[in-house]
């Protein structure tokens, strides 16, 4: 099953996956997420690569503010926050590689 309005990119170096991201339609513009990257440089390349596939369309990312590198990447791109949300857990905080998460799939799913 394909998703014709979605665009995916992967960053591969020396045969190793260094990052991946998906651009999909949103209510207004397009949304990037998930976005996972091994470094800020890879994240930057994925965001700019996906944004180039949607010229003239607003691009939205749900960036986890606990990842300072992710915040720096979107600030360097000139993106501005439009809202904030808090992630809350009923039990222990899951063991997630937050350093690699540059954009959540959705704020509802993480």
- Angle, helices 68-76 vs 40-51, to 10°: value is 40
Q: What pLDDT shows up at residue 58? A: 92
User: What are the tens digits of pLDDT across the range 88-107?
Assistant: 889 998 888 889 999 988 76
Mean pLDDT of the chain: 89
Stronger pLDDT, 29 or 18, i.e. the higher one: 18
Residue 109 has pLDDT above 60, yes or no: no
Q: What angle do CA 74, 66, 43 make, to 5 degrees?
A: 35
Number of CB atoms found within 10 A of residue 3's CB: 10
Contacts of 109 (CB under 8 A, 6+ apart): none
Residue 1 has pLDDT above 80, yes or no: no
């Amino acid at each position: 099953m394909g998703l014709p309005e979605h665009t995916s990119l992967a960053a591969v170096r020396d045969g190793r996956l260094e990052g991946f991201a998906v651009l999909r339609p949103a209510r207004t513009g397009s949304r990037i997420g998930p976005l996972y990257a091994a470094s800020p440089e890879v994240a930057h390349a994925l965001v700019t690569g996906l944004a180039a596939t949607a010229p003239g369309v607003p691009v939205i990312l749900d960036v986890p503010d606990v990842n300072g590198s992710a915040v720096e990447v979107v600030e360097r791109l000139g993106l501005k926050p439009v809202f904030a949300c808090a992630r809350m857990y009923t039990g222990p905080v899951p063991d997630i590689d937050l350093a690699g998460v540059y954009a959540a799939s959705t704020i509802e799913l993480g």
